Chains A and B, each alone.
Chain A
């Protein structure tokens, strides 16, 4: 029989909490497909013609940092609309696009756009980075290392 000490309930509680969703379930689906390499992931073309394109050229606005606050706001609205009303693939693309917007906001504005905490943003960015093309993944990885000014 094992010893009868019981001093790590907090760790056990944290481990059980790991069974819950730590980020957008749509992004978790992207992570799973990236892990299994058995399905389509958002392509560069899909990202750059998706909801981020509603306000202009996504690469110039959000990758290179030319977006103003209003661009962020409008792009976020476009993403959230698609996330609610789109097909399964569109909803995933919207979730990925929201993560990219979050990354751009962190890198160029030093503040969160969608997430409420740095930990939430970290999980969102990492999950999205597992399934996007390498150039957009660089933006996500850069954001993961950026200090933040304030939460959303």
Chain B
């Protein structure tokens, strides 16, 4: 018996062992490893998903005509409560071969559509008519918009994580130099004056922080479902999504 099946201890998770064995575990990394732990792993997945995707999902709904359905926070919480409790929700994501963010925005759009239908059924009067058509007619736009929001959120999260790691390792100045160089466009020459180091030391220190930022981005992309081979393409896609103008 495989480790994945051996560790399944809930009845719901032993109903389709063949499918579980077919999951590309090496490519889905952390989330699959958590799924393999059954009931023990699921809370970790749910916590990770809520922590990582709540902000971009909330930003998406705040900028859409769905915002009249409720506060972004309530809608995102409702979505998570509805979907994360479903048996096999993440197994179905793995079978879909979609990036997790794509799986979640698709699910979120369906959830919002359900809310619209429920409101109609309850004869709620204040719904704008455009809302009813949005999930089907504008799914591509929604996915594109969500990619942009998710990319920004992911980069902020990776930057925060890399900054914390630099601080832990005694590299605060390295991170400051990295940010000033790449975000503010400060030259190495100016950094060397500002931080009282040589130009060569400035390059070396910025590189130290840059490597930690890269690792943080890679960790998040892998958790979102990208494979090692797809990382460069994913970064390029996210850069296009974030491109100004």
Contact = CB atoms under 8 A, between A and B. Distances in A.
A140 B199 contact: yes
Nearest to B218: A19
A131 B200 contact: yes
Interface residues of A, number: 38
Contacts of B178: 18
A92 to B, nearest CB: 15
Most B Cβ at <10 Å: residue of A12, A13, A119, A137: A12
B76 interface: yes
A1 B208 contact: no
A17 B235 CA distance: 9
Contacts of A141: 192, 198-200
A15 B188 contact: no
Interface stretch (B8-16, B100-108, B146-154): B146-154
Interface stretch (B26-34, B117-125, B237-245): B237-245
B92 interface: no
A98 interface: no
A126 B73 contact: no
B38 interface: no
Interface in A17-57: 17-19, 28, 31-32, 34-35
A149 interface: no
26 contacts: A1-B54, A1-B73, A1-B76, A2-B55, A6-B63, A6-B152, A8-B156, A9-B242, A11-B183, A13-B244, A14-B182, A15-B155, A16-B217, A17-B239, A18-B178, A19-B217, A34-B204, A35-B208, A123-B203, A127-B200, A127-B203, A129-B200, A129-B203, A130-B203, A140-B199, A141-B200
Interface of A: 1-2, 4, 6, 8-19, 28, 31-32, 34-35, 118-119, 122-123, 125-132, 137, 140-141, 144-145
Q: Which 7 A-B pairs have the closest CB atoms?
A: A129-B200, A126-B188, A126-B203, A130-B200, A144-B189, A12-B155, A18-B182
Interface of B: 54-55, 58-59, 62-63, 72-73, 76-77, 148-149, 151-152, 155-156, 158-159, 178, 182-183, 185, 187-189, 192, 198-204, 207-208, 210, 213-214, 217, 235, 238-239, 242-244
